Amino acid sequence: MEPLVRLNDFQKQWRSIREVALSAVDRVGESGWLILGSEVRHFEMELATKMGCAYAVGCGNGLDAIEIALRVLGLREGDPVLTTPLSAFASTLAIIRAKGVPVFLDVDEAGLLDLAKVRRFLEAQPSARAFLLPVHLFGHCLNLDALAALRERFNLKIVEDCAQAIGAASGDRLVGTVGEIAAISFYPTKNLGCMGDGGALVTNNAEYAARASALRNYGETAKYRHEFIGMNSRLDEIQAAIMSHALLPRLQQSTECRRAIAAFYRSFISHPRIAIPPEPVNSRSVYHLFPILIKGNRESLRQHLRSLGIETAIHYPAIIPDQPAMAQSKFSSTDSLVTARQFADCELSLPIHPELTERDLQRVVDGCNSWND
Ligand SMILES: *Cc1c(COP(=O)(O)O)cnc(C)c1O
């Protein structure tokens, strides 16, 4: 029996960063400074540069980074936030925690928020306090020219959820540079994952960055002075050190690797009942995930691949407004969200990460093509 083709392989990743990561941990230990010190400051600078923004603020996780971003932009209780029904639950959860009201609009053929629908919605219901939380899902980048045009025309406040798309671009624009603030997650499966929980937000606005720094740390603006009702959501020195020294230096290479795998799958998966959704216009995607759409019995393909030792996942089995927790929360949907539901019913994610071997990729392709549907 050949080894499993895994969805993620953290053991293998550890073996390739072990030396550097251990010495990063050692340096933090020897420094005697464990929270909000020079490692976090250094990592924030590197991250800001990487994201093409002036400021980065490390947080405890991606969920908190989105919540903090919305609060920094002045979201008030009951303000509507337009967003996608197809994402990690955290996107919507952040809106609810910040006391906003999610308004779900449908996705496009790539599975990302349909910006044409956002435009039509705002034309029909102009609002002086409109917030938008678009998600660059699957490692794709939404069309940022279109997003910028929306921002200008409707005076929108935008938080870009870049949890799955660090390093992606749309033409010449980097992901996260059109919204006032962008939020990132370093959850281990993400393209830049740390060894535990972590997140950050990036912005070009000094005031937003300062307020976010305070909010992540009890709302503290100077020693023992608390100007805001903040939270405790700090990035650890150890996580920052490991990312700076071991993981961030590999990001570009692992992104190229993900792109090559995506190109391979696109070229060689040829089963008539498997469709591969397109990239959004102008997207330079970083392929956090590789979604395919199954016309037929998804479970039968999953089972077939499992029998060949290939792991798969579903992103996401239900759209967010259908989650039980949403019954306790105010929200609205603009229509029946048909395309998002189609993704929930038909999507399957194939393994895509830099630890896969050529043999693994061939097995995935052969497995898909040999499915007897
Ligand atoms: C992972 C993820 C988040 C949440 O990040 P955490 O660090 O797990 O809190 C938010 N949005 C999207 C799109 C994600 O994929």
Q: Is residue 191 predicted with pLDDT exceeding 90?
A: yes
CA 207 – CA 286 distance, rounded (Å): 30
Distance 2 CA to ligand 1 centre (A): 32
Which ligand 1 atom minimizes the distance to the CA of 64? 9
**Ligand 1 interacting residues, C-beta cut-off 6 A:** 61-63, 87-88, 90-91, 135, 161, 163-164, 185, 187, 197, 199
Which ligand 1 atom minimizes the distance to the CA of 198? 7
Looking at every residue in the chain, the average pLDDT score rounds to: 97
**What is the DSSP code string of 116-145?**
HHHHHHHHHS--SS-EEE-B-GGG----HH
Predicted local confidence at residue 127, as pLDDT: 84
Residues in CB range of 301: below 8 A, 6 or more apart:
274, 294, 312, 348, 368, 371, 373
Confidence of residue 243 (pLDDT cuts 50, 70, 90): very high
For residue 298 the two structure tokens come to: 């998804």
For residue range 86-136, what is the model confidence (pLDDT) as tens digits? 999 999 999 999 999 999 999 999 999 999 999 999 999 988 789 999 999
**Which sign, positive or negative, has the C-alpha torsion 337, 126, 91, 98?**
negative
Which ligand 1 atom minimizes the distance to the CA of 87? 13
Give, for ligand 1, the residue of 59, 64, 66, 91 to mutate: max count of ligand atoms closer than 8 Å to Cβ. Answer: 91
Predicted local confidence at residue 128, as pLDDT: 79
> What is the CB neighbour count within 10 angstroms for residue 148?
16
CA 342 – CA 338 distance, rounded (Å): 6
Q: Are 101 and 331 in contact (CB under 8 A)?
A: yes
Predicted local confidence at residue 19, as pLDDT: 98
Residues in CB range of 10: below 8 A, 6 or more apart:
188
Region 9-26: mean pLDDT is 97
Predicted local confidence at residue 373, as pLDDT: 84
Distance 85 CA to ligand 1 centre (A): 14
List the one residue out of 83, 82, 89 whose CA is nearest residue 130. 82
Print the SS3 string covering 24-48: HHHHHHHHCCCECCHHHHHHHHHHH
List the one residue out of 156, 155, 209 whose CA is nearest residue 181. 209
List the one residue out of 269, 311, 310, 309 whose CA is nearest residue 293. 269
Entry pTM: 0.98
b/e burial code for range 41-51 (CB count within 10 A of at least 16 → b): eebbebbbebb
Distance 170 CA to ligand 1 centre (A): 21
Distance 268 CA to ligand 1 centre (A): 31
Predicted local confidence at residue 211, as pLDDT: 98
Distance 164 CA to ligand 1 centre (A): 8
For residue range 294-330, what is the model confidence (pLDDT) as tens digits? 999 999 999 999 999 999 999 999 999 999 999 999 9
CA 45 – CA 55 distance, rounded (Å): 7
Q: Indicate which residue's Cα is closest to atom 6 of ligand 1.
A: 62
Distance 62 CA to ligand 1 centre (A): 5
